[in-house]
Structure formats: structure tokens, C-alpha cells
Structure 1
């Protein structure tokens, strides 16, 4: 596949940093003041990370990465956007977490080489990451290469079924088994703030079976796969706020899973 998609997405995400860093959505000042950006279900399902080495793939500006550091982990954030990594490093300094956090500029596919073959207890991938990757088999091999024996991946993602509903949240549209990248030309990001100047991006849809099969093929053991009826945005008008910053369909409305979480372990060598 041509590398054009990578150049387009990197330029798009470099530009997003300008918008995101000043947005109310990301609220960097609130984070500097001690806010945690991890969701409660992530903290519960990952468990105690005190003293563990954690790498966050596709970390963007590093708030989730640094939130794990605040919970006691030694963290490494990896992202292909130098602009995002620069913001993350400054945020680590501002929050007094630079002694337990580092940030590395690297495409996710070359992360093992960029990190010098280092291994980690936890590989964490946050929400909205997989759509930017064309090849999950290669991604899963990267995850396996980064894990220590007995270490685990924790993935939280938007469910691919949730993206198939029409804007009214009632009718299905699109194709769950669509293959190939889709190019978008859109002047805004998902946050508040000014328009982008680098508006082109390429995304891929990955059915749930593709994710699980890629991880199994890389030698990981899937320990849990939880589909969630809640999501983080009011993606459809029918969704109602839950009171804890999430949204779901109201009682009596037909439901589809809107998010999922997955935990997979790299078995110890025999």
C-alpha cells in the first residue's frame, strides 16, 4: 500500500494538535490542575498499575498516558505526530510527571524499533485508535513484541456496529464488512475550536472478529471481551446522558453495542 495515507494522516493529526490543545474538550488547564482523563471502566478493568511499565500506543497529547502515571505506572507514550509529542512532553513537565513519563515520536508499526526492543507489562490503546491503522495483523505483532511474558494488552474502542447506524440512530447504513481505506475531507475535528487546514484523512473499519483474530494470530490469549451499551459522545439524537459523562439508548429503544473493551495476555514462555 502506498505510504500516502500515512503522510495524509500525520499532517491531519499535526494540525489537530493546534485545535485540540486550545479546546474545552481536552481542557489541558484542568489536566494540569489534577484531572484524570481515564474512564472509570478502564481503571477498573486494567486494575492496579502501581510500579508497572506501561506503553500507550497512539497517545496523542498524552493525557491518558499521564493519567496512568498518576496512578503509579512508569509510562511511555508513542505517537506519529511530533506536534502531539511536543505537547505531551510539555504537559509532563507542567504536571511534575516527567520523571516517570517519556514520549517518543514513532509510527505505531515501528514502535518496537523506536523503543529499542524494550518490553512492557501493559500495552494500552485508547479509544478511537484502530480506525487509523490499515493492517491489524501487523499491529497485533507489534503489541506482542512490546509485551513481556505475562504482560497484557488493554484496548478500549468504539464498536464497529455503532458506526453503521444512520444519523437518526434508527436505520442501518454502510457495510460492516467494508474493506479498504475511506478518504475523508472534513474541515473540523471532533472537538470545539477553529477549522483545520489539513482536512484530508484516511480511515479503516475493522470488524470485531478481525481484531480478535489478529491478536490470537500474534500468540496472545484473549481474556475478556466486553461489549458496552454506553458511549462517550451523543453520536445519535436518541442517546440519553447517563449522568456520568456517557450516553446510551433510552429504555425500550433497540440497542446495539456502542463500545467494547478487550484484554489479552501474552503467555509466559514454556
Structure 2
């Protein structure tokens, strides 16, 4: 982990890494594409409850990767569009859509900051962003303005994310080890990916940013959206700390121990 060299093109570096992840992820047990094609759902129960009925609604998934979440919304009746900056990811998403017979699904290769131009003049009833997306973006205000522009009047944005508080804790999940307000980019040079830590990759470098809850909420309201809720959750979806216990797809602190927020979700609407 180092500081970002001034000459580094963070977008090109991250895109090269995500392009290389695509075939690894498609083949991984983590994503289990075969099970998804056979009918397995990729969405989490709290997302389904908080988003609600999507039948007949237009839904845009920003930073959709290989499209499993996107296509899960399509299976629930949404008219979906997925956008991602990785061409191989978009190609994989289109292939999976064809395999499950969702020919109406649209996937677009574009940077999230260019989404308004790439999708013009369309707006959407629901703009959805899934877990692990915001850390790849340096400018949260520009992201919020982009997302708000894409929400149709009367529609809403839904965001589910890993809680930034969890990122400041040490390996024990108890000790505060890092600065919550650290806003400089961080460069990682690591092998593999979260689906396979031993995968051989040539594009190993990534650049990430931490965005506090206050920054995200303030950016969304400044972009003209009205906050409906901010929910903080005491579970996550991977073994972030050794102390966490697994319960189905959720990981949480043992009963009787102090808890901290590990995920959060936001729903913010645009006035009609």
C-alpha cells in the first residue's frame, strides 16, 4: 500500500485490472455463473426488501461488472441497463443475458462519469449501485450528480455499500488502526482477486478511495435527491475480520460482543 504517484492514470490502471479479472470471475465458484444461469439469485435479501417491487420499472445498474445483479433485477421484471467501464465485463454480461434468455437487457461499456452522455437521453425509475463500487471513484460529488441526473422524476437511487468504518479497523476487528477521514488515494499492488487470491495476473495495481458516510449523503442531497433512509447493518458478506462468524451468506460479530456497522444502504428519491 503506497501513495498514488502523480503521473499514475488511475482509470487506466483500474480498468486493466478489472479487464483481467473478468475471465477469473466468470470461472469462479464465488460468482458461480452456472448456478446463476440455472436460476440462482445474486441479490441480497435486504436489497430486495429495501428496493421493493421492480416489475415494469426501468433500472440502471452503474458499475455492473459481469451483470449478475443486473440480470437478477431483470428476472424480477425490471427493464434493465447495466453500465461498466470494462469491455470484457460488458461482453460477459451480454453473454450471460443471452444464456438466460433476457434479450431485453442492455449493457453499455462506458466510464461511470460518462454515463449521462453514454445513455442520453434516457433516465430511469431506479438507479442501483451495488457493493464495492464507490471505492473505485475519486470524486463522490461528481458521481452523485451523475447518478441524480439519471434518476427520472419520481424515481430513486438505491445504494448498498461496505461501511467505511469497517475499513479503519485492524485485523482484529476491534482496534482503530486507520484514519477515517483519510481522503488521499491508496495504491495496492497485490496478486489475485477477491474470488481467487492465487490467480496469476499481470495488471496487479489498483487505486482506491475511502468515502465517509457524511460525504456520500451530502453529495446526494447536494445533487437534488431527497434522502428516504440511511440504514447501517451489523453484518457483511465476507470474512472481513477473523472474529466474524458466518450465518448463511452473512458474517457478523459473535453474540454478546460489541458490534460496529459493516454495511450501509441508502435510498434517495427525485421529486416529480
Q: TM-score, normalised by structure 1?
A: 0.96
Q: Within 2, Cα distance between the matches of 1:62 and 1:249?
A: 30
Aligned length: 266
Q: Within 1, Cα distance between the matches of 2:258 and 2:143?
A: 34
Q: Is the partner of 1:175 in helix, strand or coil? A: coil
Q: Is the partner of 2:235 in helix, strand or coil? A: coil
Per-residue deviation, 1:3: 7.2
Tell me, yes or no, if the aligned pair for 1:117 and 1:146 is still in contact at 8 Å: no
Q: Is the partner of 1:224 in helix, strand or coil? A: strand
Does 1:181 pair with 2:221? no
Q: Within 1, Cα distance between the matches of 2:24 and 2:67?
A: 15
- Counterpart of 2:251? 247
For structure 1, which runs of at least 5 residues remain unmatched after alignment? Answer: none
Q: Please, which moves more after superposition, 250-259 or 4-13?
A: 250-259
Does 1:197 pair with 2:202? yes
Per-residue deviation, 1:150: 0.9
Per-residue deviation, 1:170: 2.1
Q: Within 2, Cα distance between the matches of 1:196 and 1:34?
A: 31
| Aligned positions of 1:61-140 closer than 5 A | 61-98=66-103, 100-140=104-144
Q: Within 2, Cα distance between the matches of 1:254 and 1:117?
A: 48
Deviations 1:17-61 (A, max 9, x none): 021111100101111101110000000100000000000000000
Tell me, yes or no, if the aligned pair for 1:227 and 1:260 is still in contact at 8 Å: yes
Does 1:230 pair with 2:242? no
Q: Please, which moves more after superposition, 169-178 or 64-73?
A: 169-178
Per-residue deviation, 1:221: 0.3
Per-residue deviation, 1:195: 2.4
Per-residue deviation, 1:267: 1.0
Q: Within 2, Cα distance between the matches of 1:3 and 1:119?
A: 33
| Aligned positions of 1:200-215 closer than 5 A | 200-215=205-220
Q: Is the partner of 1:263 in helix, strand or coil? A: strand
Measured on the aligned residues, the alpha-carbon RMSD in Å equals 1.1
For structure 2, which runs of at least 5 residues remain unmatched after alignment? Answer: 1-5
Does 1:258 pair with 2:262? yes
Q: TM-score, normalised by structure 2?
A: 0.96
Q: Is the partner of 1:262 in helix, strand or coil? A: strand
Deviations 1:140-176 (A, max 9, x none): 1101110110110000000000111111212111100
Q: Is the partner of 2:131 in helix, strand or coil? A: coil
Per-residue deviation, 1:117: 2.2
Q: Please, which moves more after superposition, 184-193 or 199-208?
A: 184-193
Deviations 1:180-227 (A, max 9, x none): 210110111111262222100000000000000000100000100000
